[in-house]
A = this chain, B = another copy of it.
Amino acid sequence: MLKHGILGLLNYGSMSGYDIMRTFKNSLDFFWTAQTSQIYRELQTLKKKGWVTDQNVVQSGKPDKKLFSITESGKEELNRWLAEEDTGFETRSPIMMKTFFRGEKSIDENIEFFSRIQRSCGEFMSEMSGPPKNISMYEQAVKNPMISMYWKMTIKYGVMYIQTLNEWAGQCIKELEEIKNESTDD
């Protein structure tokens, strides 16, 4: 999956490992995180597979860099992956894992747990409403609205996802508070 993410980015233009890392951080990071070390390792694998090539670029005032470019067979692989039929949703949610076992904790502690989720959602939303971080990528994309459209779809998903999580946490809190009131009434 990360391999194809890297191929996809290189398909927009040649980049160094460092460029890829930054692009990941300010565009794909929300739904796929990647460490620098992993990106450099994957680039070596992609090179071995013949999907990318690299060349040294001497820079003045900055350290030299390796520019990676996608090859024809790399483009074929990218297209094969995009055409592949997906099966299932493959979510992995630490939040749900913890929620599942929260019966061990008191109602008040759990209200606090869900409130913390809501606070995180709020922080995320206010970050989102500010100016977009991925300016340099946007600049390129504006030239080709057919590409930036899909980027915007993933951002839209991110917003909807956080809103849903926020709403869900709210419902959980409400449920817990009703239980608290019932037991106080007796």
Contacts and interface: CB of A to CB of B under 8 A. Distances in A.
A115 interface: no
Interface in A81-133: 81-83, 85-86, 88-105, 109-110, 116-117, 120, 124
Interface residues of A, number: 63
- Interface majority SS (helix, strand, loop, mixed), chain A: helix
B91 A31 contact: yes
Contact of A97 (B5, B11, B88, B146): B5
Query: How many monomers of this chain does the complex have?
Result: 2
Contact of A91 (B104, B161, B163, B168): B161
A157 B98 CA distance: 13
B150 A103 contact: yes
Contact of A150 (B8, B101, B151): B101
Contacts of A85: 116
A36 interface: no
Nearest to A164: B164
